[in-house]
Amino acid sequence: METSSKSCQCNACLDRQRYNSFHFTASFQEDVKDFFRSIEIDNVTESLKLVYEIALYQSTEPIEEEQKEALYQIQMLKEGLEKLGKTPI
């Protein structure tokens, strides 16, 4: 068995690495905030959480890799919106 000090290179891990290293530029962040001023971020994040939980926990069918990655993207979007919602708009 070969061991490696490299981090995982699957799509989900690469997405998480990009997500963790991403920083909004001031102008982009303002554009995003302008968009979310018209909606309730808390409602959107709660909806994303519910979709994620329904798909993950209430499904009786096995989840395929593509579906897992889509759920992971939903989770990352929810977390990003939560962070954005904690900053003054």
Amino acid residing at 23: H
Q: How many independent structural domains does the chain possess?
A: 1
Q: Is 33 or 76 the better-scoring residue by pLDDT?
A: 76
Q: Is 37 part of any domain?
A: yes
Q: Is 49 part of any domain?
A: yes
Q: Is 30 part of any domain?
A: yes
Q: Is 4 part of any domain?
A: no
**Contact between 36 and 89 (Cβ < 8 Å):** yes
Q: Is 19 part of any domain?
A: no
Q: Which domain holds residue 67?
A: 25-86
Q: Is 51 part of any domain?
A: yes
Mean pLDDT across 27-50: 79
Q: Is 1 part of any domain?
A: no
**Contact between 41 and 81 (Cβ < 8 Å):** yes
Q: Is 14 part of any domain?
A: no
Angle between helices 65-86 and 41-57 (to 10 degrees): 160
Q: What's residue 19's pLDDT?
A: 62
Q: How confident is the model at residue 26 (pLDDT cuts 50, 70, 90)?
A: confident
Q: Give the Cα-Cα-Cα angle 21, 6, 2 (nearest 5 degrees).
A: 160
